[in-house]
Amino acid sequence: MTESQIIPAVRNSADVLILGAGPAGLVLGNLLLAAGVDCVVLERATAEQVESRSRAGFLAANTVRVLERHGLAEGLRRHGREHALCEFRTEDGSFRLDYSALGRGERHTVYPQHELVADLLAQYRRAGGQVRFGTEALAVLDAGTDRPRVTTDGPEGPAGWRARYVAGCDGRHGAARRSLPPGSVRRHRHDHGVSWLGLLAEAPPSLDAVGYAVHGRGFAGHMARTPALTRYYLQCERGSSPGALPDERVWEELELRMRAEEHGPLHRGPIVHRAVIDLESDVLEPLRHGSLFLAGDAASLLSPSAAKGANLAVLEAELLAEGLIAQLHRGDPGGLDGYSRRSLEHIWRAQEFSHWMVQLLHRTTHFHDGLRRSRLASLRGSRSLQDWFAEHYVGV
Ligand code: APR
What are residue 186's phi and psi, to 5 degrees? -105, 140
**Closest Cα partner for 16 from 166, 144, 233?**
166
The DSSP symbol for 92 reads: T
pTM: 0.94
Q: Is the dihedral of CA 107, 111, 114, 116 positive or negative?
A: negative
Which H helix or E strand runs over 322? helix 309-330
The size of the chain, in residues, is 396
CB-ligand 1 contact for 25 (6 Å cutoff): yes
Distance CA 252, CA 140 (A): 48
Check if the beta carbon of residue 186 is closer than 8 Å to that of residue 285.
yes
CB-ligand 1 contact for 22 (6 Å cutoff): yes
- Cβ neighbours of residue 381 under 8 Å, at least 6 residues apart? none
Distance CA 327, CA 71 (A): 23
Distance CA 385, CA 291 (A): 42
Check if the beta carbon of residue 107 is closer than 8 Å to that of residue 272.
no
CB-ligand 1 contact for 129 (6 Å cutoff): no
Task: Select the CATH number that applies to the domain covering 3-85+106-190+280-358 from these four: 3.40.640.10, 3.50.50.60, 3.40.50.1980, 3.40.50.1100.
Answer: 3.50.50.60
Would you list the domain boundaries of the chain?
3-85+106-190+280-358
241 three-class SS:
coil
**DSSP secondary structure, 191-233, as one string:** EEEEEEEEEEESS--SSSSEEEEEETTEEEEEEEEETTEEEEE
The DSSP symbol for 146 reads: S
CB-ligand 1 contact for 317 (6 Å cutoff): no
For residue 117, which atom of ligand 1 is closest to its CA? 22
Task: Return the residue whose CA atom lies nearest to atom 19 of ligand 1.
Answer: 22
Strand pairing partners for 126? none
The DSSP symbol for 242 reads: T
Could you read off the pLDDT tens digit of each residue along the chain, which spans 396 residues?
454 455 555 559 999 999 999 999 999 999 999 999 999 999 999 999 998 887 778 899 999 999 999 999 999 999 999 999 999 999 999 999 999 999 999 999 999 888 999 999 999 999 999 999 999 999 999 999 999 999 999 998 999 999 999 999 999 999 999 999 999 999 999 999 999 999 999 999 999 999 999 999 999 999 998 899 999 999 999 999 999 999 999 999 999 999 999 999 999 999 999 999 999 999 999 999 999 999 999 999 998 887 788 999 999 999 999 999 999 999 999 999 999 999 999 999 999 999 999 999 998 888 988 999 999 999 999 999 999 999 999 988
Catalytic residue numbers? 83, 212, 304, 308, 393
Q: Is 71 left (phi over 0), alpha (psi -120 to 50) or beta?
A: left
Count of H-run helices and E-run strands, the chain:
13, 19
Check if the beta carbon of residue 82 is closer than 8 Å to that of residue 127.
no
